Structure 1
Amino acid sequence: MRKTKKLFFTLCGTIFLITSCAPPPSNGETSLLGSIGPFLPFALIILLFYFLIIRPQGKQRKERNLMLGSLKKGTNILTNGGVFGKIIDVLDDDVFLIEVSKGVNIKIKKDFVNSVSDVDTKKK
């Protein structure tokens, strides 16, 4: 993320320098670039912002929704609190009953599932 921010600010500064160094038209004519010129850096910044920040977050959100949609009975999970468990029942559309260890069951909301885990909760 730090590299992305550094690249973003470097590009913004470069765009600003390029547009500020452009000479004004010699005769009273205005070109298309002359009328759009002041808004061009802002448009480029918005495009960069979209491709560097908004689009990747949307992709991550899609992947997370797919992962949450694929959860079913018997899936090993890791919660946001760091608790490993196995889904033993789906109580509601957004509530699971998970087995943390033998005889210890807890209810959690679907939103608090961090990831699907390959760690088995049973002791060997």
Structure 2
Amino acid sequence: MFITPAFAQAAAGGDTNSMLMSLLPFALIFVIMYFLILRPQQKKVKDHAEMVKNVRRGDTIVTSGGLVGKVTKVVDDEQVEFELAEGVRVRQLRTMISGVRTKGEPAKEKADKSEAKDDSTAS
């Protein structure tokens, strides 16, 4: 009585062009996200894994907690032992290392200060 019958209209013969056009923005968003977000993140993870794998005795490391020390022993594939101060040794997971400086690499702050001193004496 109160309900009127609804009649569906017939489909327009399978227009695939409109379906392709409706899916195109989603495909473009995925491609943009891949090149701007996913690919650089994968490269960063790969570089970090390579850096951590190449840690050896004598390297200066910086942990993700902010501790700086010199590697005294590579325990195994997962751990390194480093010295924070004279006689203070700590074991750390390799994955928690955020930076590695090799034996011969100069400190950036010292290099910047010496360059500034050289420039001021040259004038």
Q: TM-score, normalised by structure 2?
A: 0.67
Write the distance in 2 (CA, Å) between the matches of 1:47 and 1:95.
38
1:70 alignment counterpart: 54
Distance in 2 of aligned mates of 1:44 and 1:89: 49
Q: Secondary structure at the match of 2:83?
A: strand
Aligned AA for 2:91?
K
Of 19, 37, 40, the match for 1:56: 40
Give 5+ residue unaligned stretches, structure 2.
Answer: 1-11, 108-123
Aligned partner of residue 34 in structure 1, secondary structure? helix
Matched to 2:19, the amino acid is S
Q: Aligned residue for 2:89? A: 105
One-letter amino acid of the counterpart of residue 54, structure 1: L
Distance across 1 between alignment mates of 2:64 and 2:78: 15
Displacement of 1:33 in angstroms is 3.6
SS state at 2:65 partner: coil
Q: Using the alignment, how far apart are the partners of 2:93 and 2:66 within structure 1?
A: 14
| Equivalent in the alignment of 1:83 | 67
Structure 1, unmatched stretches of 5+, are 1-27, 120-124
The amino acid of 1:102's aligned partner reads E
Distance 2:63 2:71 in 1: 11
TM-score, with length taken from structure 1: 0.67
CA distance in structure 2 between the partners assigned to 1:89 and 1:76 by the alignment: 12
Residue 78 of structure 1: how far off its partner (Å): 0.4
Number of residue-to-residue matches in the alignment: 92
Amino acid at match of 2:38: I
CA RMSD of aligned residues (A): 1.9
CA distances 1:42-98 after superposition (whole Å, capped 9, x unpaired)? 110111111111011001011111101110111100011111101100112111110
